[in-house]
Structure 1
Amino acid sequence: MKFGDIITGTITRFDKKGRGVFDAPLQNGNTRPFLVPFTTIGDEVEASFLKRQEGCFVGKLVRVITPGPSRRSAINHQPSDGQEALKADRQKPEADLHPGTLWAHINYDDQIAFKRVMINRAMEEAGHNERVKEVIPC
């Protein structure tokens, strides 16, 4: 795979950093995890290859072809200074709309559920027997 190559896939899981992951096919028939920030489980996406990192491919979201069930609908921005409202296009990567908010595009209830799974996975990998049964939203 070369820098800038476009690949499509459906996000099946999150990595430890909260990036969406799908399995990219290799020429030898195997697969390799392809990490795409600003995606959620069920999203069918186009991503641009950026680099290899720790046995994975890392890409940039180009567009969401088909949104997953946890993806929020388009967001309407209402600037307070009277400017014309900006409408977020569903095809525009969330990274451009909300820099620094990795999961702004995911429904809040689903964010809570995903975070509980990630916390419990981290506890298990660290050898702890404790598990979080419920995450209480703010």
Structure 2
Amino acid sequence: MSSNCTHAFGGWLAGCGAATAVISAVVQTFFMIASGGDVARLLQGIAVLVLPSAMVFVITCLLTAIPAAVVVWLGEAFRIRSAMFFGCAGAAIGALSISVLMRSAAVWTSGVGILFIVAGFVAGLTYYFVTRELAAYEHSM
């Protein structure tokens, strides 16, 4: 059981990292477009994103800990081994997280909500594949 908890924790952290990477990549794309080909301006934009990306990771961890634990528990209790289940659960957690953070309909009309749904979906898939690989590695030893 403790190895399952370790796998779940590792998969959840990897999922939080994946969600952060998706959000940061979208923001970085906007910096690239805004730089207009000016490399110095682009590098400045990259440097400016380091601290906010770390903050996004921490906030992601804080907002998703309890909902992700519920999803992991359900997955274990019902022996769900589906990438689609964890991807969709991650998308739902992403939608819930941005709704809790922003509490405004503008989130959904501006497209920010969609970004968080996609980030959550990627996080759920990351969780699934990381835990699957950790279990396979442990089983092969």
Higher helix share: 2
TM score, norm. by length of structure 2: 0.25
Higher strand share: 1
Query: Taking CA–CA contacts closer than 8 Å with sequence separation of 6 or more, which of the two structures ends up with the larger relative contact order?
Result: 2
